[in-house]
Amino acid sequence: MFYFYFRKQKQSMRQLINAYTINGSLNEYLYFILIPCLNEGKVIKRTLQKLLKLSGRKEIIVIDDDSDDDTLAQIRSVSGPISIIERKLPNARTGKGDSLNSAMPTITKMIHEQKLDPARCIVGVVDADGALSANSFYKLTNAFENNQVDSVQLRVKMRNPHTILQTFQDIEFFVVNHLIQTIRAKLNAVALCGNGQFFRYSTIVKRLGEKPWGNALLEDYELTLRMEFKDIKTQYISDAYVDQEALTSVKRLIKQRARWAQGGFNCLKYLGHIIHSKDMPESQKLDAYFFFFQPIINVLADFSIMFLTIAFIRRNLYKPIHLLTLLVIMVFFGLFFGLAFTMIYLREIRLTEAFDLLPKLTKAFASRRLTPLKVILAIFLVSYIYAVLFLSMMTAIYHLIIGQHTWDKTKRL
């Protein structure tokens, strides 16, 4: 990851310098932005206002999944090209994939009624708390000008991280996941995220039908696999991003990551298809195998760390100076990746601010700086967060064993 990151520095700088350069016309494509909602009254109005302020042609389709708060009232208080799909129980709250699929007939109807070219209609997904960077439609338009590109994933970051826990999540998404996507791009195996995914309507409907999403708890990765089976190419855009709220408590973080882990296990049903597929490139198969087996490797590694640490302490228990010295040395060796990711994060944030990519309503972030203490704490947290996320993996495995496949959504602040 570090090799590809530093190798691409000159290219990345050129991309940032041309952050608002467009090859064609900004109005060449019509973007259908899907926003699934379940009790999003606290955030949906702000999200809609931010989207409407961005240049470019767009139709915003909000899918309300039978909310019992003021979500619908907040949506209706915003004027603009906004449509609402209201799902009602018992045909609601059946998963994010179902929710997104329910909007496809509406898009089809709009395309027919307005006599639009389906190849120039782009479907995107933005979370109810999401905001696109100011140059997003410029970069998306440039990407879809290439007829070989039918799917695009924007970079993801957290909005306004205040606490150390939120800063960790921003480092994880804006740096670590970014570096992973950079490697995946080399393997032609870019993974879609639940937020900031876009695809060409004509290609997806032709190859996957009008219900492209599955209903795994990780519906974004399930869609990634479905696209790869049909040789649909996804491009990763690193110089435009979608941001979202970071979680504020460790308990919510563990619960969220447990849901994601279980969603990954849900996608194991495609393993046989991957193994026997003659159309899926070996590089994509390699990425899928790693994705599936990484959680198992992580669990084994965590148990190994605990066993070896206890064995080490017991062996050196009566040599306190020796024990303390070696523990300090090991802790600092363990900080290497946390230090590296945090330093890259600080650099990336400075570049993001310098090239004016922040959404207009979130520029207050530019005035916030990490203090030296917060930087040190971030390094420790990024280095040792696996100790906390181990609980997420155990929770996911437990739910699989007892057959629990439903989750409560993450609550807003």
Is-contact 216 222, C-beta < 8 A?
Answer: yes
Residues 6+ apart with CB under 8 A from 350: none
Q: Identify the CATH number of the domain in which residue 70 sits.
A: 3.90.550.10
- Residue 180's Cβ-count burial label (10 Å; 0-12, 13-18, 19+) is middle
Distance of CA 355 to the CA centre of its chain: 22
Q: Rounded to whole angstroms, how far apart are CA atoms 124 and 126?
A: 7
- Count the Cβ atoms, other than its own, within 10 Å of residue 342: 26
Q: What's the number of domains the chain is made of?
A: 1
- Domain range spanning residue 276? 1-413
How far apart (Å, rounded) are the C-alpha atoms in residues 155 and 243?
Answer: 8
pLDDT value, residue 362:
44
Q: What does DSSP assign to residue 154? A: E
DSSP alpha helix (H) spans, 268-367:
271-276, 282-315, 320-334, 336-354
Strand 30-37, strand 57-65: pairing: parallel
From residue 59, alpha-carbon distances to 13, 83, 133, 145, 406 in Å are 32, 8, 18, 20, 31
Contact criterion met (CB below 8 Å) for 70 and 43: no
Partner residues linked to 224 by β-bridges: none
Q: Say what the pTM is.
A: 0.91
Q: What does the pLDDT read at residue 403?
A: 84
Amino acid making up residue 411: K
Nearest to 53 by CA among 145, 134, 153: 134
Q: What is the pLDDT along the chain (413 residues), one digit of tens a residue?
A: 888 888 888 788 877 777 888 888 899 999 999 999 999 999 999 999 999 999 899 999 999 999 999 999 999 999 999 999 999 999 999 999 999 999 999 999 999 999 999 999 999 999 999 999 989 999 999 999 999 999 999 999 998 888 999 999 999 999 999 999 999 999 999 999 999 999 999 999 999 999 999 988 899 999 999 999 999 999 999 999 999 999 999 999 999 999 999 999 989 999 999 999 988 999 999 999 999 998 888 889 889 988 998 998 898 888 989 889 988 898 888 899 999 999 999 998 888 877 766 554 344 444 456 788 888 999 999 998 888 888 999 999 898 888 887 766 666 55
Which among 144, 232, 238 is positioned nearest to 189, based on CA atoms? 232
Taking a C-beta distance cutoff of 8 angstroms, is the pair 252, 411 a contact? yes
> Hunting for tokens 């496949």 — which residue is that?
405
Residue 225: CB atoms within 10 Å: 24
Q: What is the identity of the amino acid at 336?
A: F
**3-state DSSP assignment of residue 191:** coil
Q: Cα(412)–Cα(247) distance, rounded to whole angstroms?
A: 8
CA distance from start to end of the chain = 34
